[in-house]
């Protein structure tokens, strides 16, 4: 059993919280509006979950998921996350986030931006190319034929394995896309972004991605 910190309680964060609780983990979840606004979600999740502040989620989580809009990256506390596996689910939508030059010219990726903000953390890209409802709707046991696959990308092999183990436990095969810098292969408007793909199909989609 792991304590999973979730910073961001939107569609993806809430679904990951549900999966974590279903698989026996403790969840500490935070949003930008305060723990009291998460009462309904925590009541649904039960005794294995509690609503906390962002600092508390970062401190208490053994693995921490950051699932907030890009504009909120600067609000993620860095010190409590030193040495921890941090899973980044973000995507760049300039319509929502405003234009960010380094993402527009593709000299960096969203996960690398988070890694820059959290220099002591071990950031892994995951859960960014699946719709929120599909996180629970498409989850199947290990070994299921035609099982859906999800990507991990990261610079720390051990951290990627931690994320991969969670993905498998939550109901998906895992495809390693390489280092964080390769996360662009699964960003918005790439072949692997969105559709339900097996591991082999997802590898093909990653290879077909172009900038």
Which tens digits make up the pLDDT trace of 22-53? 999 999 999 999 999 999 999 999 999 999 99
- Residue 117: CA count within 13 A, CB half-sphere: 18
Whether pLDDT at 148 is above 90: yes
Q: Which residue do the tokens 């093909």 mark?
A: 204
Whether pLDDT at 20 is above 90: yes
Query: Could you give the strand order of the β-sheet that contains 85-88, starting from the edge strand earlier in sequence?
Result: 49-51, 26-30, 3-7, 63-66, 85-88, 122-126, 149-154, 173-176
Whether pLDDT at 188 is above 90: yes
pTM here? 0.97
Distance CA 207, CA 211 (A): 12
User: What is the full DSSP assignment across 128-160?
Assistant: -SS-HHHHHHS---TT-TT--EEEEEES-HHHH
Whether pLDDT at 120 is above 90: yes
Which tens digits make up the pLDDT trace of 80-104? 999 999 999 999 999 999 999 999 9
What average pLDDT score do residues 172-179 get? Answer: 98
The predicted structure's pLDDT at residue 2: 94
Q: Which residue do the tokens 């095969």 mark?
A: 173
The predicted structure's pLDDT at residue 100: 94
The predicted structure's pLDDT at residue 72: 93
pLDDT mean across residues, the chain = 97
Predicted confidence band at 211 (pLDDT cuts at 50, 70, 90)?
confident
The predicted structure's pLDDT at residue 1: 79
Whether pLDDT at 119 is above 90: yes
Residue, of 39 and 211, whose pLDDT is higher: 39
């Amino acid at each position: 059993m792991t304590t999973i910190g979730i910073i961001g309680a939107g569609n993806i964060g809430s679904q990951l919280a549900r999966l974590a609780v279903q698989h026996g983990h403790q969840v500490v979840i935070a949003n930008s509006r305060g723990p009291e606004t998460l009462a309904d979600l925590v009541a649904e999740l039960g005794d294995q979950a509690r609503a906390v502040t962002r600092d508390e989620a970062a401190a208490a989580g053994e693995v921490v998921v950051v699932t907030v809009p890009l504009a909120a990256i600067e609000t993620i506390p860095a010190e409590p996350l030193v040495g921890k596996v941090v899973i980044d689910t973000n995507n760049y939508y300039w319509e929502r986030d405003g234009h960010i030059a380094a993402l527009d010219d593709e000299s960096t990726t969203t996960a690398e931006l988070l890694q820059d903000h959290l220099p002591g953390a071990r950031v892994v890209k995951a859960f960014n190319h699946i719709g929120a409802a599909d996180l629970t709707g498409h989850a199947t046991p290990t070994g299921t034929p035609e099982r859906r696959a999800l990507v991990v990308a990261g610079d720390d092999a051990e951290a990627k394995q931690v994320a991969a183990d969670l993905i498998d436990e939550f109901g998906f095969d895992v495809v390693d896309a390489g280092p964080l810098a390769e996360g662009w292969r699964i960003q918005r408007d790439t072949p692997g972004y969105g559709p339900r793909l097996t591991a082999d199909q997802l590898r093909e989609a990653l290879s077909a991605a172009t900038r």
